[in-house]
Structure 1
């Protein structure tokens, strides 16, 4: 028993001693008070420590959280037998040894049976209350433990998901710059068009990469723009077909999944004008399919390991539906699930503390998104300026992506630091405070 339990037993001993001394003792003397205190101490500590020992023993051997049914039966049996023995022992010491109002033969006769059973019933009620209290405390501990474990699991999954999403940003930028470098030598005019479109696409990447899911419609529109970039480079060597059902447009997929899968098709297959690579994007039975005719490259470049594995892992963290891969001698197909609803990851966080945490986390995400956009701007634009001045100094085309992307960065900054949600909340709070002060003034 813990220190708190001993303190409670001491207060119970003192309270019962005073109660019986004041209301049931005829001769009020110090000697009688000591006897009453001794008897109260005996009952309180023997019954208290006995039941505490039984409860602690059962908690170790048969915890409530693991063996609830068996523990209930054992608790009932143990408190009946235990209190029967303890009460008879305390009554025997009290009546025979301390007060000396009965002999051993009289105590075990019918004369004291009713009195003993009355004391046993009181002890059973108190003991049942204490065991029920212990059960509730154990239930609360188990519930708290489960909540903490679920939060840890959720945080771990969220951290893993964030790690997977953060692969997309540098991965896309790296591959896009590689394509641009190739185009500069092959076709400078097409490189200019590619650069102008890349800034628009990269903006989408920055906006969507922090989301768990996006609509099929948004992903298809982005994929079409990305396909235009690929057509800029490969011209008639690649061909794209989109046959997605209109009713699936309002459903959800993992963001940038199409871009990664389209990129895989280009990376793992060769494409020529005589043997074009045909890529089909269509919906089929709650899945979004990306299929291409198989024209595998003989010599593959070393892969970064990002792409299909990334999509599979992100879906695994969001749903039980699987990503399917089909491969034959003629074609390669990937099926990603189309989800009807967004997962509600914040349903557990309903109290004020978690609400504040969610607002803070959202604000941090917004700041991270802006600074990522700003860093990429000051990384890519100087690179484009150098390429422009080295290849065609008479034709300064870098102004277009610099101004277009710069306007986007300025708009992003104005949204975060100017008229964003935080600014709205501040204004609403100021208006409410003014109204509250005005009402208080009227009341005075």
Structure 2
């Protein structure tokens, strides 16, 4: 128990002892005032330390977040047992040891009623402490989850930005290599290539900061880029486009076709007698880039920027995978067409807003139950006191105590998983186990 808790218990002791001295003690002396403070401290510190020990012990063994039901059941059982023992101990010291009353009447009459009343007050305080511990644990868990989600999102964004920043130097480096070769081979073509490259590079600059572009935009860019490649390779390379109209407004990652077209040129030889045929077409929800396999015999080691860049960007933006197929006759890359544009990246973990909302709903549900329980523990003892004080021969308090008690019990069953939505929870549990 920390220093703050000790100060709080000390203040509670002071107020209870002072109130008891002012309203329930006939003779007003310093000695009796100190006696009231000591007796109040006996109850306050004994019950607080006992419940604190039980609460800390259970919290170390069972988490409020991961083992909510077990923690609650064990908390209720242990709290009832511990509080009954502690209250009986304090009352025995107060009535039998200090006040020298007859021990035979400890469980009957005034002492019996005081036992029952004090147990209810102790249980009420314990319920408040357990509810406070539960809410605090869930808040801490939610805060940790939110921080973790933010870190994951920031890491994913940083990774995505790093991947996009590869596109500028990668495209420029490859284009300058082509231009360098054309200057020696065919200067007029080099001039036309330079003009086309400026238009294409403008598109690169415009699209590289976007997460997704439409299939139509990417295809138009790919056709322009293919014309640029035709300038260099002439009839050594053929391009075939076959696009379905219904997917043109869907989305792909930007510059994916340009990177894959570069990949085809880089890894295959192309001549007029054996042209490289590159097919770009759609089938279902996928965009295909396929070429006849004419692999170069000697190649320097590849940096792997093009294909790996596309795979990594799709992994950050979608759960759909990029497929690569290779045979002795063709090489094919299959990239997903996304039907919905996203404004922020998704990560493999659930969004923080969903996790936070679930936590808020769960805390609200449990606060409702504990509020009901606390109200029951406050009102019922008051009704018992009124009944016994005004008409002790006509006992009626057990009717509201029984009716309301049944309601509290049903509320507990509903809150901890066996209520009206039990069937829905069981169905969801079975579905999750079959995934």
What is the TM-score normalised by the length of structure 2?
0.77
Report the CA distance between 1:33 and its aligned residue. 0.8
- Higher mean Cα deviation, 155-164 or 73-82? 155-164
Report the CA distance between 1:94 and its aligned residue. 1.5
Report the CA distance between 1:109 and its aligned residue. 5.3
Distance 1:91 1:138, change over 3 A: same
Secondary structure in 1 aligned to 2:280?
strand
Report what 1:67 is aligned to: 67
CA distance in 2, matches of 1:17, 1:179: 93
Residues 292 and 330 of structure 2 are in contact (CA less than 8 Å); yes or no, is this contact kept in structure 1?
Answer: yes
Report the CA distance between 1:112 and its aligned residue. 2.5
Residues 149 and 352 of structure 2 are in contact (CA less than 8 Å); yes or no, is this contact kept in structure 1?
Answer: no
CA distance in 2, matches of 1:333, 1:226: 19
Q: Does 2:54 align with 1:41?
A: no
Report the CA distance between 1:344 and its aligned residue. 4.4
- Which consecutive aligned stretches of 4+ in structure 1 deviate over 3 angstroms post-superposition? 103-106, 108-111, 346-350
Residue correspondence of structure 1 range 192-207 to structure 2 within 5 A: 192-207=191-206
- Higher mean Cα deviation, 290-299 or 109-118? 109-118
CA distance in 2, matches of 1:16, 1:208: 72
Report what 1:119 is aligned to: 118
Residue correspondence of structure 1 range 108-187 to structure 2 within 5 A: 108=107, 112-187=111-186
Secondary structure in 2 aligned to 1:307?
helix
Report the CA distance between 1:269 and its aligned residue. 0.6
Report what 1:9 is aligned to: 9
CA distance in 1, matches of 2:342, 2:44: 55
Residue correspondence of structure 1 range 187-226 to structure 2 within 5 A: 187-226=186-225
Distance 1:111 1:18, change over 3 A: closer
Secondary structure in 2 aligned to 1:273?
coil
Specify every segment of 5 or more residues in structure 1 that has no aligned partner in the other structure, as ranges: 351-444
Report what 2:96 is aligned to: 96
Report what 2:251 is aligned to: 252
- Residue-by-residue CA offset, 1:144-175 (whole Å, 9 max, x unaligned): 11111111111111122122222111111111
Instruction: Compare relative contact order (CA 8 Å, sep 6+) and give the higher one, 1 or 2.
Output: 2
Q: Does 2:313 align with 1:314?
A: yes
CA distance in 1, matches of 2:175, 2:325: 28
CA distance in 2, matches of 1:344, 1:201: 25
- Residue-by-residue CA offset, 1:211-230 (whole Å, 9 max, x unaligned): 21111111111111111111
CA distance in 2, matches of 1:292, 1:249: 22
Report what 1:54 is aligned to: 54
- Higher mean Cα deviation, 125-134 or 157-166? 157-166
Report the CA distance between 1:49 and its aligned residue. 1.5
CA distance in 2, matches of 1:194, 1:25: 104
CA distance in 1, matches of 2:220, 2:97: 94
CA distance in 2, matches of 1:111, 1:135: 36
- Higher mean Cα deviation, 251-260 or 297-306? 297-306
Specify every segment of 5 or more residues in structure 2 that has no aligned partner in the other structure, as ranges: 354-435
Report the CA distance between 1:346 and its aligned residue. 7.4
What is the TM-score normalised by the length of structure 1?
0.76
Report the CA distance between 1:201 and its aligned residue. 1.3
Report the CA distance between 1:82 and its aligned residue. 0.9
Secondary structure in 1 aligned to 2:137?
helix
Secondary structure in 2 aligned to 1:342?
coil
Distance 1:268 1:209, change over 3 A: same
Secondary structure in 2 aligned to 1:4?
helix
Distance 1:4 1:167, change over 3 A: same
Report the CA distance between 1:103 and its aligned residue. 3.6
CA distance in 1, matches of 2:206, 2:96: 86
Secondary structure in 2 aligned to 1:78?
helix
- Residue-by-residue CA offset, 1:25-71 (whole Å, 9 max, x unaligned): 11111111101111111111111121111111111111111211111
CA distance in 2, matches of 1:18, 1:227: 92
Report the CA distance between 1:349 and its aligned residue. 8.6
Distance 1:346 1:209, change over 3 A: closer
- Residue-by-residue CA offset, 1:252-311 (whole Å, 9 max, x unaligned): 111111011000000011111111111111111100000111111111122111111111
Report what 2:327 is aligned to: 328
Report what 1:277 is aligned to: 276
Report the CA distance between 1:74 and its aligned residue. 0.6
Distance 1:110 1:23, change over 3 A: closer
